[in-house]
Amino acid sequence: MIEVFAPMTQGMIDSLKAGQSVVLSGDVYTARDAAHARIVDMLQKGEPLPFELSGCGIYYAGPCPDMPGRIINSCGPTTSSRMNAYAPLLYDCGVQVVIGKGPVSGEVRNAIVRNGAVYFAAVGGAGALLASCVTAVEDVAFPDLGPEAVRRLTFSRVPLIVAIDRYGSCVYDNR
């Protein structure tokens, strides 16, 4: 198991290979369909974004509503292909790491390679396990989206698989 930290260095990303198991610690932002649509709209209008895309990590998740006494409730990954229309632009704007589940389009894979990024797969159905790896949460943007609002999560050793490495190798090719 390889330990990696967000934000990731280019050297660390370059060293990862599709199929490797990693544990990730550090800060990532949650964003799903509605948040992606707003971010892309803001980019197209030249409006300032609520967080810096360059070098960031995005976790395709919409945590369940908070419960008293917990840092965060269940927060499993959503299907990554739902972001296919938005992801290439976000990679081109500097997004370095994405966490989701399932395969993505060829255009997304090309954007990962073009930008020297990485796509990690999280285990679907394991939202409670993943929530146990969150040590801090901060609301960042779009509170009107409820669970789909953008939040900054601090992970401690969240287990992931390198699904697409920066060279374009993909674990989903051999299905």
CA distance 79 to 44: 25
Q: What is the mean pLDDT of residues 39-52?
A: 97
Instruction: Give the burial string for 12-24 (b: 16+ CB within 10 Å, else e).
Output: bbeebebebebbb
- Under the banding of pLDDT at 50, 70 and 90, the label for residue 69 is confident
pLDDT at 113 over 70: yes
Non-local (6+) Cβ contacts of 22 within 8 A are 1, 2, 3, 4, 16, 120, 159, 160, 161, 162
pLDDT for res 5: 97
Give this prediction's pTM: 0.95
pLDDT at 65 over 80: no
Residue 163 or residue 125, greater confidence = 163
pLDDT at 63 over 80: no
Query: CB–CB of 78/99 below 8 Å?
Result: no
Q: What is the mean pLDDT of residues 81-86?
A: 97
What is the per-residue pLDDT across 4-19, written as a single tens digit (0 to 9) for each?
999 999 999 999 999 9
Q: What is the mean pLDDT of residues 71-77?
A: 84
Q: What is the mean pLDDT of residues 141-161?
A: 95
pLDDT for res 68: 74
Is 36 labeled as catalytic in the residue annotation? yes
- Under the banding of pLDDT at 50, 70 and 90, the label for residue 175 is low
Q: Tell me which of 36, 38, 151, 166 is the catalytic residue.
A: 36
CA distance 116 to 97: 10
Q: What is the mean pLDDT of residues 103-123?
A: 97
Q: Which CATH architecture has domain 2-161?
A: Alpha-Beta Barrel (3.20)
